[in-house]
Amino acid sequence: MSIQVNEITSAEYPLLEKFLYNAIFLPPSVEPPPHEIVFEPEIHIYIKDFGCKDDCGVVAEQEGKIIGAAWTRIIPAYGHIDNDTPELAISVLPDYRGQGVGTMMMTRLFELLRERGYKRTSLSVQKDNPAVRFYQRLGYEIAGEKLDHVGHEDYIMVKELFANLRDVELARSLSADTTELLPYLPYVLQDYWELGSDPDVMARLIEKHISLSDGIRILDLACGKGAVSVKIANRLGVSVKGIDITHAFIEYAEQKAKEYGVDDLCEFVIGDINEAVKTERDYDCVILGAVGPGVLGGPAETLKKLKAVMKPGGYILIEEGYIPDEGNREKIRYNKDIHLTKQQWMDVFKDADLDLVETASGFGEGDLDSVSGMAAITARANELIEKYPDKKAMFEGYVRDQQNEYDDISDSLICVTWVLRKKQKVI
């Protein structure tokens, strides 16, 4: 069922006690503390007398049940940095985690904070909490370290609310946990052309399901270096528009279009796909291939945005990996909390009123397989480490994450391309 995110109301303030308790991080094998822990002064401050002037929050609701909450306060708590910066708390009920609820709530909360004129927001998180990666994907950066009142080592993290949002989006799409990596990614990924979906799979599915004729329009969102766009145009002789946020990638895509003799069919644009979906309209097919978590919002929000781009009867092609069932979630090495099960995806498709036409199995490794790809990434990262030794940990972290992602695709995720059809209006 669809998930709605709304600003918290005064009638929902009492629910924050439950969500504060669920927000407490428990390392593996640690028994949950008694509920009364939320009344300890250092913790209770996050909800005590909530509703003051600087308090701001949202809740996520599904079928009449509040399943998540995210809120900020300016309080002298763990993540306090100054009296102008609200500190974040967020919690999703256990049965609803890994469905994009947290990303949906944070996106809306950031909007509210910007509307109120706040420049940044902070938080405190234990160093060994996997949520650190989640916060980094949302644009938080580590600003310091401290011990909490029981001696846990915490990161203090800060997100600049008016920073370049395009950079955050790009980092997410390229599996980077920090925007600091962005200037170096074109260098690290220079040996790849096919950065996302398998062009041959996408071309085959379009050829199978869409009646090709003059005027067919295809949109390739987060097109990377244009491999899918160029090869579809070359194979099918149709017009394709590719949009990506990275200038170097678009330049490369334009060069490849000329090389393949399809520069008259391919249009490549440097742009933010979140902005593009607000204005692009009447496409026969839109492709979102291996873009990464949360770039267009949660799954439901993503499909809503993609539907707006298409004609009635048009098609969405999404390449994605899902976990077989919740029991397999702990096997995931990279971003384990963001992957949905197959049934969860089916529910999202149903709620979006989209017909699932085909599920194409398999994952194309592209022009570089996992072994040669990792060898190339590692070699480029080592070259950068030699040049920028102070950034060694960042580059090594990126290599590690890429290897984990390859391993997940190999043995823990089921990778597919879904062909979805937008229903035609019945008159």
At residue 336, the pLDDT reads 64
CATH class of 4-163: alpha beta
Q: What are phi and psi of 204, to 5 degrees?
A: -65, -45
pLDDT tens-digit map of 165-215: 566 666 666 666 677 788 888 899 999 999 878 899 999 999 999 988 878
Contact 419, 356 (CB under 8 A): yes
Calculate helix-pair angle for 247-259, 227-236, nearest 10 degrees: 20
Q: Which of 47, 41, 37 is nearest to 16 (CA)?
A: 47
> How sure is the predictor about 332, in pLDDT bands with cuts at 50, 70 and 90?
confident
Q: Tell me if 421 sits within 8 A of 311, measured CB to CB.
A: no
CATH assignment, 199-368+408-422: 3.40.50.150
Mean pLDDT of 31-43: 92
More confident position, 106 or 149: 106
Q: Is 143 helix (H, G, I), strand (E, B) or coil?
A: strand
Residues 6+ apart with CB under 8 A from 288: 221, 222, 296, 302, 306, 316, 317, 318, 319
pLDDT tens digits along 269-298: 988 898 899 999 999 999 998 776 567 877
Reading the block at residue 150, the tokens are: 């029981």
CATH 3.40.50.150 domain residues, the chain: 199-368+408-422
Percent of the chain with pLDDT over 90: 56
Return the pLDDT at 220: 97
pLDDT of residue 51: 95
Q: What is the dihedral of CA 202, 237, 212, 351, to 10 degrees?
A: 30
Q: Which two structure tokens, joined as six digits, stand for 143?
A: 């600003």
- Measured CA to CA, the distance from residue 46 to residue 66 in angstroms comes to 19
Note the pLDDT of residue 255: 94
The predicted pLDDT at position 267 comes to 96
9 close to 57: Cβ distance less than 8 angstroms = no
> Tokens 């308790």, residue?
21
- CB within 8 Å of 327: residues ≥ 6 apart: none
Model confidence band, residue 152 (pLDDT cutoffs 50, 70, 90)? confident
Predicted confidence (pLDDT) per residue in 210-255, tens digit: 988 878 999 999 999 999 999 999 999 999 999 998 888 999 999 9
pLDDT in tens, 109-132: 998 998 888 999 999 999 988 888
Q: Tell me what the mean pLDDT of segment 258-267 comes to.
A: 96
Q: Tens digits of per-residue pLDDT, 58-98? A: 999 998 999 999 999 999 998 999 999 999 999 999 988 87
Q: What mean pLDDT is reported for the chain? A: 88
Residues of the chain above pLDDT 70, percent? 92
Nearest to 139 by CA among 182, 183, 77, 92: 182
Q: Give 344-394 pLDDT, tens digit per residue.
A: 899 989 999 999 999 998 655 566 788 999 999 999 999 999 999 999 988
At residue 174, the pLDDT reads 67
Q: Quote the pLDDT of residue 113.
A: 92
Query: Where in the chain is CATH 3.40.630.30?
Result: 4-163
Burial of 150 (0-12, 13-18, 19+ CB in 10 A): exposed
